[in-house]
Structure 1
Amino acid sequence: MIRVMVVDDEALVRSGFRLILSSAGDIEVVATTTGAEAVETVRREQPDVVLLDIRMPDVDGLTVLRRLHALPKPPVVAMLTTFDADEYVLTALRSGAAGFLLKDTEPNHLAQLVRTLAAGGVVMSPKASRAVWQNHPGATAADDEEAGRVGRLSEREREVLVLIAQGLSNAEIGGRIHLSAGTVKDHVSAILTKLRVGSRVRAALLAQRAGLLDDDTRRRPEPGR
């Protein structure tokens, strides 16, 4: 059972996410709360996944994210946003968020996205992440230099990187391209080393920045299909 917590300042959003996710047999919404109570609630409930509003009036999502990552056993955190070009999203991803979801995500996709997060995958809409890069004032030439490291990857490593950016876990990547989980793990380790990043999310961001997803997204299946 995947234990999920929803943090949002709007009661309607919290109720909506609880209703949708609770209908999945393998997901339990253990709590919904506001930003001010988020850290204490996480300590008490120990969720696997936290869906965290990035813009809240009491305590902003970036502050909550930093506090959650300071916990001894932090949960997987994905940011919730209304805007596909939210200027705070890139900062959150660089700060350890495992991805972001738009609040108007199709209800029938939401449970699968939570499963992806719980399995260690990345949740990041290619279309929305392009908008994040294009509209973020901190996306500079230095980011382009980082993205240039993608050129150092082998063809197989680039293939694995695209699948990482699509949110697939190591087991799912192995099933997709017929490799053992151990071999995929070795590829992922090599990719992170060559790109000089410490997480799958940062690797996925560089894949997006380098344009690897531009052609591939047309072939990407919808979540749950």
Structure 2
Amino acid sequence: MIRVAVVDDEALVRSGFSMILEAAGDIVVVAAVPGRQAVEAVTEHEPDLVLLDVRMPDVDGLTILRRLVESPSPPRVAMLTTFGCDEYIAQALGSGASGYLLKDTDPDELAPLVKSLATGAVVLAPQIVPTVVDGYLSHHRDLEAPTGRDPATRDHGVPAAALSEREHDVLLLLAEGLANREIAHRLYLGVGTVKDHVSSVLAKLGVDNRVKAALWAQRAGMLARDGAQ
């Protein structure tokens, strides 16, 4: 069972998320509390994952995030927001958040996203991926390759051609922010097969999470090229 805590100052959000997650059968919501009770509840119930609202009237979600990350046995934390373009995204990810989800996520997608987070994946709502990529690129212009160098080898010295055709397809969907189950559905593959492809992609690119892989694809020009076709 995946143990989850939901932290949000709106009782309707807490109850709605709890009901959707527990309907999955292998997820249990061990705490659903407002922000001021978050740290105490997490300490008491020791969830595997915390879904934490960014903006709450009586306490800052980023402050709670930092306290949870610095605890002796930190849970994974995914931030919740109402807005796709949230100015707190970079701060949250830089402070140790494992994901960033929208509150209006399709109910059918919520449990699979939580399960992906619980396995160690970094999960971003598709609407948020462009914001993360653009923010990263704007702060790393000084890392641009010298003129004439293949942009596909810019970050890690690995050409895009090193990926198989299927790994290329997986990388593009991963860069859109899709979870493994969604990628499997899109490519008509088993979830286990997708996990293997994702692991292979990360290894070949020399990165340790999905966000960095998405950034690699963006900097290599793969997303722009495919979008233009």
- Using structure 2 for the length normalisation, give the TM-score: 0.73
Task: State the partner residue of 1:206.
Answer: 215
C-alpha separation in 2, matches of 1:102 and 1:18: 15
- Report 1:1-225 matches (<5 A): 1-134=1-134, 140-142=138-140, 145=143, 149-150=154-155, 152-154=157-159, 155-156=162-163, 159=168, 165=175, 166-168=178-180, 175-176=193-194, 184=199, 188=202, 191-192=205-206, 199-200=208-209, 202-204=211-213, 206-207=215-216, 209-210=218-219, 212-213=222-223
Instruction: Show CA shifts across 1:152-177 (max 9, x none).
Output: 224339747557654449xx887238
CA distance in 2, matches of 1:47, 1:143: 39
Do 2:39 and 2:64's aligned partners in 1 also have CA atoms closer than 8 Å? yes
Measured in 1, the distance between the counterparts of 2:77 and 2:139 equals 28
Give the secondary-structure state (helix, strand or coil) at the position aligned to 2:66. helix
RMSD over aligned CA atoms reads: 3.4
Give the percent of matched residue pairs that are identical in Structure 1 and Structure 2.
49
Q: What is the SS of the residue equivalent to 2:104?
A: coil
Query: Residue 6 of structure 1 contacts residue 33 of structure 1 at CA under 8 Å; is this kept in 2?
Result: yes
Distance in 2 separating the partners of 1:54 and 1:131: 16
Where structure 1 has 5 or more consecutive residues not aligned to the other structure, the ranges are: 194-198, 218-225
Corresponding letter in the other structure for 1:145: L
SS for the counterpart of 1:59 is coil
Structure 1: distance between partners of 2:128 and 2:109: 16
Confirm or deny: 8 A CA contact 2:30 2:47 kept in the other structure. Answer: yes
Q: Report the residue type matching 1:175 in the other structure.
A: T
2:86 is aligned with what amino acid?
D
- Which consecutive unaligned segments of at least 5 residues does structure 2 have? 146-150, 182-189
Partners of 1:161 and 1:207 within 8 A in 2: no
Shift of residue 40 of structure 1? 1.6
SS of aligned partner of 1:31:
strand
| TM-fit CA distance, 1:88 | 0.4
Report if the CA contact (8 A) 1:126-1:213 is conserved.
Answer: no
SS of structure 2 residue aligned to 1:30: strand
Between 1 and 2, higher relative CO (CA 8 Å, sep ≥ 6) is seen in: 1
The alpha-carbon distance between structure 1 residues 151 and 49, as it changes in their structure 2 partners (threshold 3 A), is same
CA shift in 2, pair 1:174/1:43, >3 Å: same
Alpha-carbon distance between aligned partners in 2 of 1:15 and 1:132, rounded to the nearest angstrom: 29
- Deviation, structure 1 residue 56: 1.2
Measure how far apart 1:200 and its partner are.
1.5
Q: Following TM superposition, by how much is the alpha carbon of 1:131 offset from its aligned partner in structure 2, in angstroms? A: 3.7
Aligned length: 204
Between the aligned partners of 1:144 and 1:90, the Cα distance in structure 2 is: 19
The Cα of 1:20 is off from its aligned counterpart by: 0.9
8 Å Cα contact 1:98/1:123 also seen in 2: yes
TM-score (norm 1): 0.74
Secondary structure of the structure 1 residue equivalent to 2:68: helix
1:58 and 1:105 map into 2 onto residues whose CA distance is 24
